[in-house]
Every structure is written in C-alpha cells, then in structure tokens.
Amino acid sequence: MSAFNRFAVAIGGLAAISVAHAANKPDASERQPVAIRFALAAGDQPVECGHDIAGLGTGGQPAQLHDARFYIAAPVLIDAAGHEVPIELEQNDWQYANLALLDFENKTGKCVGSADVNDTIKGSAPRGRYKGFSFVIGVPSVVKDKDGKDVILNHSNFATAPAPLDLQSMTWNWQAGRKFIKIEVDPEGGVTRPPPKPKSPADAANGAGAQGDKSGDKSDGGAPAMADAPKAAPLRVNSDGTITVSTWMLHLGSTGCRGDATKGEITSCANPNRIPVKLSSFDSGRQRVVLDLKPLFAGIDLGKDQGFSTGCMSGPADPECAPMFENLGLRLKETAPDANDAGQSSGASTKIFRVEATK
C-alpha cells in the first residue's frame, strides 16, 4: 500500500505512539537517526522574510513573503527495492504522531506569526540505505493513541489540541479544520480585485461560501468563508469601484465536510485536498526538499484577483483555484458527476517540490 493510501485510511498503524507498534519496534541499535531539511525558494532564489521575491506569477512583479507554513504527514523513506519504510518522528512542539509542521515565517519584514521557525523533520528509521522519500501535505483525520483509541487531528479544537495543531492561525473557524498549507505573499502594488458584493444565498450557491456555513454542501465544495468582503481594510478603493488589497493567499484544506466538529463527528470530507509527494531520488544526508514558489504560482496573476477569495482558499468556483490546483496536482472538481474524486490527486505529480543539494 502506498504512503498516500495509508494516509487516506488515516486510522492506521503509522501512529508512532501505538503500544502495539512499540512492542514490535526494533532495538535502538537497529535504528538510525533521520533528519530531513526543507527550504523555500523561487527558482534558484532563496525566499526569506523581508526580501523581495522576483518573477512570481504571470505579472512577474516583485513580492514579499507574508506567511509560509505547511503540515506534512506520513513521511516514509524508500529503499532500493521500492519498499516504503515509515519514519518514526520525534515527539516535540513541531511534531506529533506522524505529523510535522514546517514554518518559514519569522515575523520580520512583512511576515506575520512568530519568530520561531522550523525547517527540519527529525526522527528515526530502521538502519539501512534509502534512495527516496515521500510524504503527504495535509493533516490526517484520525490516528491511534498509545492505547489504540482514535485521536481526531484535522477537525479538532486548536485550544486543546497538542502542538503543532494548537495554532489558531492554521485553522479555519469553519468546521475547525486545519489549513494544510498556507502561503501568502504581498505583491508590489497590491492585489486588485472586484468590488465586494453583499452576501446572499446565491453567492453561497455559486461557490462563494457563507460565513459560518456548516452545511458541507457539495454545491460549493463546503468551501470556507470567502473574501468577497476582505477581513482587512483595502489599501485603496479605485475609481472603477475595484479595490486593492495587500496580500494574495493560498489556504488549502479539506472541504465538503459533514458533521459537527465540536462533537468530534467529522472524520472525512468530500474534498480531502491532501497532496501526495514522492521524491524517487533523494539522499537525506546530502539533499533537502525545496518548496518552489515559481511553479506554485505558475499561470496566476498575483496582481489581479478575479473574485471570491483574494487568492485561493480551496473553493471549487474560485477562478484562481483552477490553475493553483493544477500546480498542486489535485483535482479541483469531480471528473464526472458522482465520481467523488474532487480534492484527490490528479495522477500528475505536484509541480511545487523539488530536490537540491544541501547548502
């Protein structure tokens, strides 16, 4: 079974805190430490808070980083025979069960968040030689605790959740789900978008989503509240009625979810929107994994938003989500009525990750 399928089942044996797992765990002497570094770049240019990023999107105007965080889960090493070997993650403020948070914002320049950053996952694996690495961008719905009981991860209360799931900034108030990946940039000159429209039932039916909507209706993909009314005041109101805001946002998470998150009822969603990533050739001792913002924003004009969210917040009707989901390697919509394959891998590899030599 592939890493992604194990993840999709989610209620599985990868929970590193399982008593049963521990009983079968090799001796410490048979294991080796694993540390895998991640980095953020735009082509061959490193991306850091407070520095201009050149050449993003179709407009190509300079931009600065505003936020960059993402969860990975189910990390596995791949041996020469193609066998996938789970990495048992250390348990700390950045890692819980088989989940880790990578964090590249440091609250300098235009970046928000905190000064704390994390670019490395740490754990161990059976001693051996490995040639590849795979993981999933996302948060599992459920894992097992040490007593074999289900622990809800994605749709859980951030106030009581273990780190790194305890960040309000990485949750949607909509059904308490997590933002799997959050990338925000401030393009020079801002983002011009249509005038805000009054909320109406018709907006929701067309994919705008309504604030506080908990229906999980597939007509809008169960999308979170959209930014036809941006939370922050616009930079300016233009003479043609359009507005200009500061930040283009990618917030990816599961949509089309049903149930009451406060009662622990949500364990699956129509559009899971989790991204499988497989790097067939990877040496953790000499290489690192790079999230490249150029392919991430390919085909998107960061200076002109066409409506719904400013950017893409996983809404199936959002114009910016069509190229974004293609870049992520996900299906934005069903391939056919009742195919139930929206939010799943398109079969094409995601374009946004690559491998480079450690610097």
Q: Is the pLDDT of residue 212 over 60?
A: no
Split at pLDDT 50, 70, 90, the class of 339 is very high
- The answer to whether 139 touches 154, Cβ cutoff 8 Å, is yes
Confidence check: pLDDT of 259 > 50: yes
Provide the pLDDT confidence category of residue 199 given band limits of 50, 70 and 90: low
What percent of the chain lies above the pLDDT cut of 90? 67
Mean pLDDT of 314-322: 95
Length of the chain: 359
Evaluate if residue 345 carries a pLDDT over 50. Answer: yes
- Specify the residue for token string 């929206």: 342
Q: Specify the higher pLDDT residue, 323 or 222.
A: 323
Q: Mean pLDDT throughout 268-285? A: 94
- Sorting pLDDT into bands at 50, 70 and 90, what band is 144? confident
- Position with higher pLDDT, 27 vs 120: 120
Domain that holds residue 299: 37-195+233-357
Least confident segment among 125-139, 184-198, 251-265, 298-312:
251-265
The number of distinct structural domains making up the chain is 1
State the pLDDT at residue 286.
96
Q: Is the pLDDT of residue 334 over 80?
A: yes
Residue 205 lies in a domain: no
- The tens digit of pLDDT for each residue in 9-41 reads 443 334 334 433 444 444 556 999 999 999 999
Q: Residue 150 domain-assigned?
A: yes
Residue 65 lies in a domain: yes
Top pLDDT among 263 and 339 is at 339
3-state helix, strand, coil in the chain (%, to 5): 10, 35, 55
What is residue 27's predicted lDDT score, i.e. its pLDDT? 52
Whether residue 181 lies inside any domain: the answer is: yes
* Residue from 98, 122, 128, 123 nearest 30 by CA: 128
Mean pLDDT on 284-313:
96
Q: How confident is the model at residue 210 (pLDDT cuts 50, 70, 90)?
A: very low
Q: What is the DSSP string of 39-67?
A: EEEETTEE--TTSEE-S-TTT---EEEEE
Question: pLDDT, tens digit, for every residue of 49-94?
Answer: 999 999 999 998 899 999 999 999 999 999 999 999 999 999 999 9
Torsion of CA 300, 306, 309, 313, to 10 degrees: -40
- Please tell me the predicted confidence (pLDDT) of residue 205: 41
Q: How many CA atoms lie less than 13 Å away from 340 in the CB half-sphere?
A: 4
CA distance 150 to 168: 22
Q: Is residue 29 part of a domain?
A: no
Q: What are phi and psi of 122, to 5 degrees?
A: -130, 140
Residue 273 pLDDT class (50, 70, 90 cuts): very high
| In-domain check, residue 330 | yes
pLDDT of residue 200: 58
Any domain includes 207: no
Average pLDDT, the chain: 85
Structure-model confidence comparison of residues 125 and 235, the more confident one: 125
pLDDT of residue 17: 41
Give the mean model confidence (pLDDT) for residues 126-153. Answer: 92
> What CA–CA distance (Å, rounded) separates 314 from 182?
11
Residue whose token pair is 């917030």: 251
Task: Look at residue 295 and tell me if it is in a domain.
Answer: yes
